[in-house]
Amino acid sequence: MDFSHPTGHGKDSARGDTPAPVTAAAPSAPWGRVTLVGAGPGDADLLTVKAARVLSQASLVLYDNLVSPQVLALVPASAERIYVGKQSSNHSLPQEGIIELMIRLAQSGRSLVRLKGGDPYIFGRGGEEAEALAAVGIACETVPGISAAQGAAASSGIPLTHRDHAGMLVLATGHLQGEEGERTVALDWEALARPRQTVVIYMGVGTLPTICAQLIAHGLPARTPAALIERATLPGQRTVVGTLQTLPDLSVQHGVRPPALIMIGETVALQERIGGPALR
């Protein structure tokens, strides 16, 4: 059976062209099922027991850029692996192509694991994929993962909530409206600038100066504690702690690169007491 996608065989499949569009069709043979699995923030020890079991039994895995080698090592050597990772301005396959590939594989009778960094439903586009699979009648199960925000908080010593400092937690994307190649929504700066909350911004290293400036312009004091956590939970993790005013310069000074999370709020000030060494 021939497919116009990069299936390949062995450890990893080659990258190829986007498959042809797929529409719902009555199955002539039993369809496969898809399991969306959260790989967590990187440290394989932070996988859920269920995620580890699913990976150990997988025969076909589509995996993202932020899935760590330690997590991939849990996949059997005999399993087929297809890289579908996306980096800024460098997508091996567009999101629509990934969805079409998943549908095509499942409709051919193959069950597969869709492996994503963090949690599939927290800026992982798992919702888009589950919705598309449901629309054509493909069975889909989701196995949650520890989110990057949770992993970064624990490994850096920055609580996400605290009775004395933050009664709310806000997760947001740093992809600002109008960025080339990204379908995004405008950030609600007034909501993000409210006091007594912790704000965690994913994918915001490239727009850090704008984020900090907008939060200050919408009412947060320039002295508000803020941090960058680079490669959270992985060897080589770095935590950079400053304020909304100083963090952009600190990011340049220390050469922070993605993947990194931005954490903003009074709980960041607790890092010095709770966490390990940090760059300042």
Residue type, 16: G
Residues 6+ apart with CB under 8 A from 236: none
Q: Which of these is catalytic: 12, 17, 50, 64?
A: 64
Strand bridging mode 225-230 / 238-243: antiparallel
Q: Is 86 a known active-site residue? A: yes
Other Cβ atoms within 10 Å of 93 Cβ, number:
23
- The helix (H) or strand (E) run that includes residue 171 is strand 168-173
The count of other CB atoms within 10 Å of the CB of residue 30 is 8
Q: How far from 231 is each of 43, 165, 217, 236, 257, CA to CA, in Å?
A: 10, 26, 29, 7, 9
Q: Is 64 labeled as catalytic in the residue annotation?
A: yes
Closest CA to 119 of 203, 51, 195, 194: 51
Largest CA distance in the chain: 63
3-state secondary structure of 51: helix
Secondary structure class of 229 (helix, strand, coil) = strand
- List the catalytic residue out of 2, 43, 86, 188: 86
Q: What stretch of H or E contains 221?
A: none
**For residue 102, what are its two tokens?**
């998943």
Question: Using CA atoms, how far apart are residues 210 and 199, in angstroms rounded to an integer?
Answer: 15
Radius of gyration for the alpha carbons in the chain, expressed in angstroms and rounded: 20
Q: Could you give the residue numbers annotated as active site?
A: 64, 86
